[in-house]
Structure 1
């Protein structure tokens, strides 16, 4: 089964050798956002006006997505109106990261290492086990952003999430963000896409900006 958007972002975040997550907080928001957008593209959710609705409960066949879909459906059923995407991301992003890493481990793309910091505090790291999936992601990003190839819906959504979460350095290490931003902004604007996909990507991008800005204010405050 194809690697999902959330898994792709997680692969970009995890250091290949040490297995430590880089830009962990922003990447976590983007991973959770990627799962939501993947479900929109799969026709299981609709996002409009910053709120989501479960439109199809049929399993996708991908465990990571189906688990999140079930959780979102159960949570939304307790609300009097469609929940805000930002509220869901705030609620789920930590758990979504854990579920995404476990999915990558089950696929054999990373492996788990248990270590102790200062000989006392247990930590888990997830170094690369199979780099083929990450290489494919980076090649796709390079072809669209650096070489001007037209994106498909999933790649455009991935770029919009990376751009909104300010993860340019993860996607294009060693390149100044200012070189990437104009092209990424154009892709995120989504003029090439159909109305439903364009609206979903814009709403998801707005949600990502909202939660990352709010988090930054809390941390720096």
Structure 2
């Protein structure tokens, strides 16, 4: 079964038994970056100087990617070529991208939606694993590259670069020393394996994550100072 980078990232993020997302914020950025990278790999979008352009409106045949492509066509058309910044798109899209990706995993039968009420009041949705075959294959590919130092193909290298940029090393290898995983991820992310548009998609996701993190720290510091 072919799955998108976004779906692979979401499978790594969701706890198999509880269905709760691990590191949901970071995973959201990675999922949005994965969708953009997949569209770049498919030749549907290009990134140049941090700006997005739609180069081919032809559907890819994948419902998740085609929905994103339609949204991008509308957004880029409204923004104009000079203002269609990849970081702005990722900031706008990351929450919606997660919902769309989880829905697609449910449609494929890879996870199942469970609805609960927290404290009997607040609705909560969780997505435990229903079919683990895709995630097992995925983790096998990652293990071959990280544990056994095999050379990754372009898609696996792209996935690792997305995980590295979003600092989600633990999602793939919680049992290994973080420093070891980070070092290998960084080595792969720095490799000359990706087309320029794919590399830019990942770099822009990294920039967006860093900007949001810095803004959050600044806001928190200001709030603490005000209280003090």
Question: In the TM superposition, what is the alpha-carbon distance from 1:149 to its structure 2 partner?
Answer: 1.2
Q: Is the 8 A contact 1:8 1:137 kept in 2?
A: yes
Note the alpha carbon deviations across 1:201-220, whole angstroms, 9 max, x for none.
Answer: 43123212212222222333
1 CA distance for matches of 2:198 and 2:169? 18
Within a 5 Å distance, the mapping from 1:33-52 to structure 2 comes to 33-52=33-52
2 CA distance for matches of 1:91 and 1:27? 15
Q: Mark the structure with the bigger radius of gyration.
A: 2
Within a 5 Å distance, the mapping from 1:5-44 to structure 2 comes to 5-44=5-44
Paired residues in the alignment total 217
Note the alpha carbon deviations across 1:19-70, whole angstroms, 9 max, x for none.
Answer: 0111000100000100000011111111122111111111111000000001
Note the alpha carbon deviations across 1:65-109, whole angstroms, 9 max, x for none.
Answer: 000001001110112325111110101111110000000000000
* Equivalence for 1:69: 69
CA RMSD of aligned residues (A): 1.3
* Equivalence for 1:53: 53
2 CA distance for matches of 1:218 and 1:19? 30
Q: Is the 8 A contact 2:163 2:169 kept in 1?
A: yes
Give unpaired runs (5+ residues) of structure 2. Answer: 221-228
Worse overlay, 8-17 or 206-215: 206-215
> Out of 191, 209, 212, which is 2:209 matched to?
212
Worse overlay, 34-43 or 178-187: 178-187
Q: Is the 8 A contact 2:32 2:90 kept in 1?
A: yes
Hey, which bits of structure 1, 4+ residues long, moved more than 3 A?
none
1 CA distance for matches of 2:195 and 2:57? 22
- What secondary structure is seen at the aligned counterpart in 2 of 1:142? helix
Worse overlay, 139-148 or 34-43: 139-148
